Structure 1
Amino acid sequence: MEFNSSLIGQMITFGLLILFTMKFVWPPLIKMMDERAKRIADGLASADRAKQDLENAEKKSADKLREAKQSAAEIIAQAEKRAAQLVDEAKGNAKVEGERLIAGAQGEIEQQIQQAKETLRQQVAVLAIAGAEQILRREIDAAKHADMLSSIKAEL
């Protein structure tokens, strides 16, 4: 009988151990496991949110980079257009200035031509008068007249 009573004692002790464990040990263990599961779930959710935030930030940065490149391209296009306008304006100004200089030079050339013509007229008049004086002073001779006219031509 000792075997049965010892078995019954062990069963009662085991039952008390189960009751004690269920009442005092099991709830804190379950609570700790639930808290740990909750922390793990929160960590995973936070990681998912961080991953989503990272993807959103990458999309925003890609959009901003694209916008910045587009803006830079527009600014460059405007600068090139303005540079072309400045070049065209400079060409126009240079052409106007060149035409003005040419007109001034032509005016000066015309003036010098007029002065040269006037000087030439005066010299021709002086030579004609000198030739006429020489002709009148000498005898009237055709050969001498021809010689004088050829010498006058040579002087001109």
Structure 2
Amino acid sequence: MNLNLTLAFQVLFFIGFVWFSKKFVWTPIIGALHQRKTQIADGLAAAEKGQMAEQQGRDQAQQVIAEAKEQANEIIGKAEKRGAELVDEARDHAKQEGERITTAAQAEIDTELNKAKETLRGQVGELAVAGARQILKREVDGKAHADLLNDLAAKL
């Protein structure tokens, strides 16, 4: 056996093996690895986009919730303001009604007072006439002394 010939066959076999491996084994493995690397990169990018979309969704949800709370507070504020206005209106209406009732009652009191004064004047006039009758022991003519009674009633 010749060492050089064996070494030459081994070199040729090794070169053939490397060429065969590169052509039929290594290229599909590298292609599969590259394809897998691309899929992994795409998956990571999609996951990152998904996380960004989720964060944006959360931010939008927080914003919508904040706007809803603000609108609710505005509505509550308007309702409280309207309630206060209704209370003030009711209070003013009640005050006006009370003043109207008080005015009507005062007018009625004045009317009754005037009636009572007129009644008292008439009674005082009758008492004056009765007193004069008692004093004079005679009857006094009502027509003749009507002016005196009216003056007396006006003074009272």
User: AA paired with 1:115?
Assistant: K
Question: TM-score scaled to structure 2, two decimals?
Answer: 0.74
Q: Which range is displaced more, 97-106 or 77-86?
A: 77-86
Match of residue 87 from structure 1: 87
Q: How is 1:1-156 mapped onto 2 (pairs within 5 angstroms)? A: 1=1, 8-137=8-137
| Aligned-partner SS, 1:19 | helix
Aligned partner of 2:149 in structure 1 is none
Could you tell me the percent identity over the aligned residues? 46
TM-score by length of 1: 0.74
| Unaligned stretches of 5+ residues in structure 1 | 139-156
Inter-partner Cα distance in structure 1 for 2:106 and 2:4? 144
**Aligned CA-pair RMSD:** 2.3
Alpha-carbon shift at residue 109 of structure 1 (Å):
0.6
CA distance in 1, matches of 2:2, 2:94: 130
Q: In the aligned structure 2, how far is the partner of 1:94 from the partner of 1:51?
A: 63
Distance in 2 (alpha carbons) for counterparts of 1:54 and 1:94 = 59
**Aligned letter for 1:112?**
E
Q: Displacement, 1:90?
A: 1.7
1:6-64, Cα deviation, whole Å (9 max, x unpaired):
55544444333322221111121111111110110001111111122122222222322
| Paired position in structure 2 for 1:142 | none
Query: Which residue identity is paired with 2:26?
Result: W
How many residue pairs get aligned? The number is 138
